[in-house]
Amino acid sequence: MISLIAEHLPAFLDFSPGPVEEIRVFFAPGRVNLMGEHTDYNGGYVLPAALALGTYLFVRPQPGSRVRFASSSFSKVVDGQLDSLQYQSEQDFANYPLGMLSELQNKGYELSKGAAGDYYFVGNLPHGAGLSSSASVEVVTGYAASRLLNALIDKADIAVMAQAAENHFVGVNCGIMDQFSVAMGKAHHALSLQCDTLEYAYVPIALEGVTLVLANTNKPHSLVESKYNERRSECDRALEDLHRAGLTYPNLAAISVEEFAQVVQCFSSEVVRRRARHVVFENHRAKHAPRLLEQGDAATFGQWMHDSHVSLRDDYEVTGEELDALAQAAWSVPGCLGSRMTGAGFGGSTVSLVRTDCVSDFMETVGRVYRERIGYDASFYQTDIGDGVRELTKEAWLS
């Protein structure tokens, strides 16, 4: 971490010349979701964890109302004024911090009282891997601005504002899972979150001798957003069908596994019925999986990961051949306790539980099978479960 900051400091000083002492550095992680996919916008449970990889943000506060954004991954510098923050597609990555600042202003925070200045982003999350790099950028910006203003905004509230920024400013209709886990994550713990009430609990990941391995399909991004929105409207339709039948469920996750058999005739099409079935069973897994983690029952947890992937493949239809190739190859490797896609799907990454002594064989075998089947390489990451958004003290990086 310190070496990464030292490595990028010269580029920041090029972008924003001035005394090093004025600089503040913040970090927000990416996330991996262990269980509960496409349940967040259906009012259900999710079980994500924050990664040690994420987004570093260097800020030099400046008087006035000018904000400038740059990133080590893009050549563009975006210049704005706090009283006219607007979405423009050519602003690229800068739309995420702009959206976050705009949302803070909507909530009444006066950003010109300390949060104007130069913002420089350095990310070490793999791009397009479905590990929430955009939520990481939004949340780190919101947290940094709140600290620059000396405003004590709860991290959970920053997450809610970041989701609003993504929904209304950037125009992506995501749920709350990514922003919440990036803001609230805790090292060595998963976060069991009920997305309707935002009640949460930290669950220790006590899996002795087991390593979490992420595998990125490296599939070029395509249609993720439109397919995601399609699934959301199919879920809306499923709920309307239930309401039309006189059932008053507030959301699909409110249906229990037992009740599902009784309401199954209410759905107006086979597709809608399958989407609802995924949500009900996936929510059941996400709600009860924390118990397995606490008991260190990696074998059952792994079986549920398998069931989750199959449900996302067959009922929710968000996997695609790249994610299926990775998961299927993983299931047959000795020492792999479970594997599933993580995040929205349609590309992105899988997460696998692998016995630590089998990790290199796992990466070798799954990598080879994937290349043979898909024609290009997957990338593998072993990353720790880290803390949520925070400021890095000057003592930690300025030595």
Closer of 234 and 391 to ligand GLA (Cβ):
234
CA 339/CA 329 separation, integer angstroms: 9
Name the minimum Å distance from CB 174 to ligand GLA.
3
Closer of 62 and 173 to ligand GLA (Cβ):
173
Residue 364 makes CB contacts below 8 A (sequence gap 6+) with none
Radius of gyration of the chain (CA): 21
Tell which positions 166-185 bind ligand GLA, by CB under 6 A. Answer: 174-175, 177-178
Question: How far from each other are the two terminal CA atoms of the chain, in whole angstroms?
Answer: 13
The first and second tokens of residue 355, run together, are: 């016995």
Relative to beta strand 66-71, strand 117-123 is parallel
DSSP-assigned letter for residue 318: -
Closer of 36 and 386 to ligand GLA (Cβ):
36
The first and second tokens of residue 272, run together, are: 């809608």
Closer of 37 and 322 to ligand GLA (Cβ):
37
* E strands present in 62-175: 66-71, 74-81, 117-123
Beta bridge partners of 352: 213, 339
Name the minimum Å distance from CB 229 to ligand GLA.
11
The Cα-based distances of 222 to 74, 94, 128, 367 in angstroms read 20, 21, 10, 22
The residue count for binding ligand GLA (CB under 6 A) is 10
Pick the catalytic residue from 40, 118, 178, 324.
178
Name the minimum Å distance from CB 62 to ligand GLA.
32
Write the interaction track for ligand GLA spanning residues 36-55; mark x where CB under 6 A is met and - where it is not.
-xx-xx--------------
Write the interaction track for ligand GLA spanning residues 328-357; mark x where CB under 6 A is met and - where it is not.
---------------xx-------------
Name the minimum Å distance from CB 343 to ligand GLA.
4
Cβ contacts of 261-270, under 8 Å, gap ≥ 24:
266/241, 266/242, 267/238, 267/241, 267/242, 268/237, 268/241
Q: Can 178 be counted among the known catalytic residues? A: yes
Name the minimum Å distance from CB 133 to ligand GLA.
11
**Which stretch, 33-41, 110-118, 261-269, 295-303, contacts ligand GLA (CB under 6 A)?**
33-41
Name the minimum Å distance from CB 193 to ligand GLA.
11
Closer of 29 and 175 to ligand GLA (Cβ):
175
Closer of 16 and 39 to ligand GLA (Cβ):
39
DSSP 347-381: SSEEEEEEEGGGHHHHHHHHHHHHHHHHSS--EEE
Examine residue 317 and tell whether it contacts ligand GLA (CB under 6 A): no
User: Active-site residue numbers?
Assistant: 178
In the complex, the residues that contact ligand GLA under the rule CB under 6 A are: 37-38, 40-41, 174-175, 177-178, 343-344
